């Protein structure tokens, strides 16, 4: 009878199943070599890549592994092996979505957060060369036979990426009433309007004279 009770207790424990809300939870079908973004990371698409990867890791409840909030436990901690498994999985997710050269440069990283920080330093918001490329691309973009909607959409993508590199400054005064933030925002919007108008095909040039 005691043996039967023990079996029932074990069945009860197993029936509870894993905690799906735990950041250490891994699905049965999770494996390292999975592509979870539309395009692999290359030199000039970091912002798109990082946004997609962050969304995926958030959905998987794993962002804490890359931003450092879920720290590596001590080796005698009950969660040590679970952390190691998750970190290894995330490293696989990250490196699988990189071009060969970038993947080779981070293959000896000790953790997923180390890879994440390395990519931020190389391709993140302080990348002056990419900001220069964007500014040049905006200046050179022309409608060139596209529909007005398609032309605007192309420019809007460049503007949004530039905004992530060089965000519009905001006044940090406590209870500020000077309106400098609003003025700077309006100034950037006017600059974008001029950039849009300058790239329109000649048949639409009258629009520029009417607006300006």
Q: Render pLDDT for 70-89 as a digit per residue (tens, 0 to 9).
A: 999 999 999 999 999 999 99
| Cα distance between residue 190 and residue 134, in whole Å | 18
Query: Mind spelling out the 3-state secondary structure of 78-114?
Result: CCHHHHHHHHHHHHHHHHHCECHHHHHHHCCCCCHHH
| Phi, psi (rounded to 5 degrees) for 96 | -65, -25
Q: What is the pLDDT of residues 97-144, one digit of tens each?
A: 999 999 999 999 999 999 999 998 888 765 677 788 889 999 999 999
**Number of residues in the chain:** 212
Q: Which residue has the higher pLDDT, 172 or 89?
A: 89
Q: Is 17 left (phi over 0), alpha (psi -120 to 50) or beta?
A: left
Mean pLDDT score across all residues of the chain: 84
- Contact assessment for residue 170 and residue 84, using Cβ atoms and an 8 Å cutoff: no
CB-based contact 82:26 (threshold 8 Å): no
- Comparing 2-16, 25-39, 174-188, the range with the smallest average pLDDT is 2-16
15 pLDDT exceeds 80?
no
End-to-end CA distance of the chain: 91
CA distance 40 to 10: 45
Rounded to an integer, what distance in angstroms lies between the CA atom of residue 167 and that of residue 163? 5
């Amino acid at each position: 009878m005691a043996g039967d009770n023990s079996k029932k207790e074990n069945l009860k424990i197993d029936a509870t199943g894993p905690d799906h809300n735990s950041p250490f939870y891994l699905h049965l079908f999770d494996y390292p070599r999975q592509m979870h973004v539309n395009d692999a990371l290359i030199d000039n698409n970091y912002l798109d890549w990082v946004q997609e990867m962050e969304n995926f890791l958030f959905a998987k409840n794993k962002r804490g592994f890359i931003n450092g909030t879920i720290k590596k436990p001590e080796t005698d901690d009950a969660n040590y092996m679970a952390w190691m498994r998750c970190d290894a999985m995330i490293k696989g997710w990250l490196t699988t979505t990189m071009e060969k050269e970038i993947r080779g440069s981070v293959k000896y990283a000790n953790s997923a957060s180390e890879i994440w920080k390395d990519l931020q330093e190389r391709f993140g918001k302080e990348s002056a060369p990419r900001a220069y490329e964007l500014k040049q691309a905006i200046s050179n973009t022309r409608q060139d036979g596209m529909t007005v909607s398609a032309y605007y959409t192309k420019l809007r993508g460049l503007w949004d990426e530039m905004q992530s590199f060089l965000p519009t400054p905001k006044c940090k005064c406590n209870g500020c009433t000077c309106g400098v933030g609003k003025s700077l925002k309006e100034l950037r919007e006017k600059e974008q309007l001029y950039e849009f108008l300058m790239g329109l095909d000649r048949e639409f040039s009258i629009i520029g004279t009417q607006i300006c």
